[in-house]
Amino acid sequence: MNSERNLNVLFSASEMAPYAKTGGLADVVSSLPKELINLGIDARVVIPKYGFIDDDKYKLIEMPDRLKFTMSGYNYEVKVKYHKSSDGLMTYFLEHDGLLSRNDIYGYEDDGYRFAFFNKASIELTRFLGFKPDIFHCHDWHVGLIPVYLKTIYRNDPFLKDTATIFTIHNLGYQGIFSKGLLPYIEISWEEFKAEKLEFWGNINFIKAGIAYSDIINTVSKEYSKEIQSPEQGQQLDNLLRSKANDLFGIINGIDYNEWNPSTDENIAVRYDLSSIYKKVENKIALQKEFGLPQNDQIPLLGFVSRLTYQKGPDLIAESAFEIISMGAQLVLLGTGDDYYRNIFQKLANDFPNNVKINASFNDSLARRIYAGSDMFLMPSRYEPCGLSQLISMRYGTIPIVRRTGGLADTVHEYDSASGNGTGFVFNDESPMDLISAVRRAIDVYYGNKSWQNIIANAMKSDFSWGNSAKEYADLYRRAIQKHEIG
Ligand code: ADP
């Protein structure tokens, strides 16, 4: 049995901060391996080298040899580039002009083939490097075929036959569904095209594949690991997930406390920590100024940084906006996604220029100024596997207002003014009414100045760094190896 000290773990994923990010997946893929390294695990990461990743900016180094392999009779050559960060994390970038070096991460007609290609290339990379992983740690549908390949075409490969797999579900709502016509091109036999394997209503389903073929599966909070086993939240995979219940775990995500730190963050107007919390208000004034809102430290300011999709409940915010404004609050929104929601917010911003502003871009630096400058942070998600934004908010002393679902339920606790306990405001129903009433509770406490300082202290003192969760992953790796050995 391997000890933690000599475990080799390779993460494969489609996103990693800061190189390629659309959401929390990217944060996890860059922060968890660093924590595993602190535990003595040799954790490394492989991602595609997208066209927008700048070699010079990130000081990427190209390996002299090319990674060569075949896929369904085609010969491929891939450039391998790498970067070792100051904290010792080795990241490999796979570059292929036709398939991987695109200007967007997702959204191409050939995404099925592109990611299947990346999956096979990730596996071939291990042999190329001579890095024999004890664990392949696969994240979300984009790498759902790695466990399939390891259990089929590489099953008896002397270099890879002992490699166990963990599949982490960051969001079951995105499954990677493609036509079965793809199968012959991606080296998967029709044998695997079965309902208990990767077939899904006549198509191939990549996330289903990841779940069905991995030794161990986990999600990013305990609550979500339970929710997805129900027909309501199982996205039509609840049957399969229930059948895997013994191998399905929930480990809450952490955030990198160095990366997200109001006392060192160079993007914000004034740096602060709990002992200098009185300075936080200067970030609020700066944010009001940046967005062209009336500058007044007494006005409660609510922030929202999110993908604009139905999952995140932007419509609930829009439908509550009038009431929220009537409470005298300001609303600052940052997000990309469905134009439908952007237009609704744009209209609100036009109608209420002193209260509502939206910036429809992806902007990490601005996101940080919103985390630092807001009093409260809205997350009315319909479902939320973990959610990082509420954790970041609490780190910045910004009080989350969340719906009781998934990781939000696990990490935010309703403030109780009698005991002085709690870190935020939590509501139950997917309804504007429930959201409004949570905002009202928050604003009431906000105006009772002393209690507000208390809740800020509770939020900033809560610990969502990776320490404990990384240890849970180390335990899960051992379990996966055992499971793999048994077969
Ligand atoms: P999800 O992964 O479902 O999008 P999370 O809360 O887990 O949601 O993580 C979202 C991450 O993406 C956070 O780091 C958040 O700050 C960031 N983010 C989301 N939208 C934007 C945006 N428009 N600009 C900058 N950062 C964003």
Q: What is the pLDDT of residues 368-391, one digit of tens each?
A: 999 999 999 999 999 999 999 999
pLDDT tier at 487, thresholds 50, 70, 90: confident
Q: How many whole angstroms from 333 Cα to the centroid of ligand 1?
A: 12
Q: How many whole angstroms from 128 Cα to the centroid of ligand 1?
A: 34
Burial of 487 (0-12, 13-18, 19+ CB in 10 A): exposed
Please count the other Cβ atoms lying within 10 Å of the Cβ belonging to residue 387: 31
Is there an atom of ligand 1 within 6 Å of 306 CB?
yes
CA dist., res. 5 & res. 37, Å (int): 9
pLDDT at residue 5 in the model: 46
- Any residues with CB less than 8 A from the CB of 246 and at least 6 apart, and which? none
Is there an atom of ligand 1 within 6 Å of 388 CB?
yes
Whats the size of the chain, residue-wise?
Answer: 487
Q: How many whole angstroms from 389 Cα to the centroid of ligand 1?
A: 7
Q: How many whole angstroms from 310 Cα to the centroid of ligand 1?
A: 15
pLDDT at residue 22 in the model: 96
| Residue range 323-337, pLDDT digits in tens | 999 999 999 999 999
Is there an atom of ligand 1 within 6 Å of 126 CB?
no
* Residues 25 and 150: beta-carbon distance below 8 Å: no
Q: Judge if the upstream peptide bond of residue 158 is cis by omega within 30 degrees of 0.
A: no
Measured from the CA of 336, which atom of ligand 1 is nearest? 23
Global pTM value: 0.96
Q: Where are the alpha helices (DSSP H) in 292-336?
A: 314-326
pLDDT at residue 4 in the model: 46
Nearest to 210 by CA among 253, 179, 240, 180: 240
Is there an atom of ligand 1 within 6 Å of 27 CB?
yes
* Residues 265 and 368: beta-carbon distance below 8 Å: yes
Tell me which DSSP letter residue 477 carries. Answer: H
CA dist., res. 421 & res. 458, Å (int): 7
- Strand pairing partners for 16? 20
Is there an atom of ligand 1 within 6 Å of 367 CB?
yes
Q: How many whole angstroms from 363 Cα to the centroid of ligand 1?
A: 10
For 233, 271, 286, the CA distances from 277, given in Å and listed in that order, are 39, 9, 15
Would the pLDDT of 444 be above 70? yes
* Residues 256 and 466: beta-carbon distance below 8 Å: yes
pLDDT at residue 2 in the model: 42
| Residue range 94-144, pLDDT digits in tens | 999 999 999 999 999 999 999 999 999 999 999 999 999 999 999 999 999
Is there an atom of ligand 1 within 6 Å of 254 CB?
no
- Strand pairing partners for 199? 204
Nearest to 171 by CA among 383, 450, 428, 327: 383
Written as six digits, the tokens of 430 are 């997917």
Backbone angles phi and psi of 386, in degrees to 5: -135, -60
CA dist., res. 357 & res. 313, Å (int): 17
Measured from the CA of 359, which atom of ligand 1 is nearest? 23
| Residue range 18-40, pLDDT digits in tens | 999 999 999 999 999 999 999 99
Residue type, 320: S
CA dist., res. 380 & res. 400, Å (int): 10
Element (H, E) at 478: helix 467-486
Written as six digits, the tokens of 461 are 């003192």
What's the average model confidence in pLDDT over 192-205?
97
* Coil vs helix vs strand at 298: coil
**Mean per-residue pLDDT over the chain, rounded:** 97
| Residue range 54-92, pLDDT digits in tens | 999 999 999 999 999 999 999 999 999 999 999 999 999
For 48, 50, 102, 106, 254, the CA distances from 97, given in Å and listed in that order, are 11, 9, 8, 16, 34
CA dist., res. 35 & res. 376, Å (int): 29
* Residues 316 and 431: beta-carbon distance below 8 Å: yes
∠ CA(262), CA(265), CA(267), 5° rounding? 120
Pocket test for ligand 1, best of 307, 342, 412 (most atoms within 8 A of CB): 307
pLDDT tier at 206, thresholds 50, 70, 90: very high
| Residue range 392-436, pLDDT digits in tens | 999 999 999 999 999 999 999 999 999 999 999 999 999 999 999
pLDDT at residue 450 in the model: 80
Element (H, E) at 163: none
Over pLDDT 70: what percentage of the chain? 99
pLDDT at residue 1 in the model: 40
Would the pLDDT of 475 be above 80? yes
Q: If you count DSSP H runs as helices and E runs as strands, how many of each does the chain have, helices first?
A: 15, 19
Written as six digits, the tokens of 231 are 């027909």
- What is the maximum alpha-carbon separation in the chain? 70
* Residues 124 and 193: beta-carbon distance below 8 Å: no
| Residue range 267-280, pLDDT digits in tens | 999 999 999 999 99
Would the pLDDT of 149 be above 50? yes
∠ CA(434), CA(440), CA(442), 5° rounding? 105
pLDDT at residue 228 in the model: 98
Nearest to 116 by CA among 162, 211, 173, 183: 183
pLDDT tier at 151, thresholds 50, 70, 90: very high
pLDDT at residue 449 in the model: 74
Is there an atom of ligand 1 within 6 Å of 310 CB?
no
pLDDT at residue 239 in the model: 97
Is there an atom of ligand 1 within 6 Å of 389 CB?
yes
